[in-house]
């Protein structure tokens, strides 16, 4: 099925089930378990005896970027990624992420942040754009503006993005809402993969994982520790592939 037909099919199903979907969405928001952001620093430097230049790292985005579902940053994406990268060199890092972050709001945060140069920027965005029903074309344009900001104001040498998670398997979402959101996520992932292939500074990371509720956080919506670990490992592999080193992950 072509992307255009997928969009038409998705719209048709939404129209047929609109009252139920609206009721389910409101119920999910009312009963959702709200987890706090993990404790820990939002910037720092990891020590390493290597005489190589420090790797300047930025993690930016939404609640997954900030590590919701974990108690501390040590076991979130940031902490687990630093464990891999610090085996190679000193890492100067920043975390600019908040719960509820969309592509637009995150861009606004970055506009208010002092300019700084980064070797690697890890981006986690899109879930909140999907749930807020941002149109696909608008999201692609917003993402382009966001990426342009990273490469200009923050002189990002490499940008690492990840496919949207398999929301069609999120236990926190009831059926058929879960299925409809899953269709939308699949369409957004395909479009973004094709769109970002035109930008040589971007490495898109696909994490092939059959989602099990046991791998999720207690809210049934955010990653669990094992998923953060897998995500961090795949991102680290991609970063270290771009920065030759003696010690591999």
Side-chain half-sphere exposure of 28, counting CA atoms within 13 A? 19
Q: Does residue 247 lie in a domain region?
A: no
Q: Which residue has the higher pLDDT, 11 or 233?
A: 233
Q: Does residue 199 lie in a domain region?
A: yes
In the predicted structure, residue 247 carries a pLDDT above the cut 50: no
Query: Could you tell me the two tokens for 207?
Result: 């994490």
User: What distance in Å separates the CA atoms of residue 204 and residue 220, rounded to the nearest whole number?
Assistant: 25
Q: Domain span at residue 227?
A: 3-242
Q: Does residue 13 lie in a domain region?
A: yes
End-to-end CA distance of the chain: 38
Q: Does residue 102 lie in a domain region?
A: yes
Neighbouring residues of 46: CB distance < 8 A, sequence distance ≥ 6: 82, 85, 86, 90, 91, 93
Q: Look up the pTM and report it.
A: 0.92
Contact criterion met (CB below 8 Å) for 51 and 97: no
Q: Does residue 249 lie in a domain region?
A: no
* The pLDDT of residue 146: 98
Q: Does residue 133 lie in a domain region?
A: yes
**Number of structural domains the chain divides into:** 1
Residue 190, domain CATH: 3.40.50.1110
Q: Does residue 144 lie in a domain region?
A: yes
Percentage of the chain with pLDDT > 90? 77
Q: Does residue 208 lie in a domain region?
A: yes
């Amino acid at each position: 099925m072509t992307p255009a037909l997928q969009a038409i099919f998705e719209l048709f199903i939404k129209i047929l089930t609109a009252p139920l979907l609206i009721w389910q969405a409101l119920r999910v928001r009312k009963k959702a378990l709200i987890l706090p952001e993990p404790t820990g620093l939002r910037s720092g430097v990891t020590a390493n005896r290597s005489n190589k230049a420090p790797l300047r790292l930025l993690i930016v985005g939404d609640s997954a970027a900030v590590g919701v579902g974990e108690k501390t940053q040590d076991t979130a994406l940031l902490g687990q990624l630093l464990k891999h990268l610090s085996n190679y060199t000193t890492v100067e890092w920043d975390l600019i992420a908040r719960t509820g972050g969309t592509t637009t709001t995150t861009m606004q945060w970055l506009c208010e942040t002092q300019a700084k140069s980064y070797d690697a920027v890890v981006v986690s965005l899109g879930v909140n754009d999907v749930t807020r029903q941002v149109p696909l074309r608008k999201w692609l344009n917003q993402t382009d503006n966001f990426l342009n900001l990273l490469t200009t104001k923050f002189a990002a040498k490499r940008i690492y993005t990840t496919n949207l998670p398999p929301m069609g398997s999120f236990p926190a979402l009831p059926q058929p809402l879960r299925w409809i959101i899953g269709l939308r996520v699949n369409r957004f992932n395909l479009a973004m993969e094709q769109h970002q292939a035109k930008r040589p500074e971007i490495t898109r990371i696909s994490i092939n994982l059959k989602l099990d509720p046991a791998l999720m956080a207690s809210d049934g919506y955010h990653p669990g520790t094992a998923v953060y670990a897998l995500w961090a490992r795949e991102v680290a592999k991609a970063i270290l592939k771009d920065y030759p080193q003696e010690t591999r992950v």
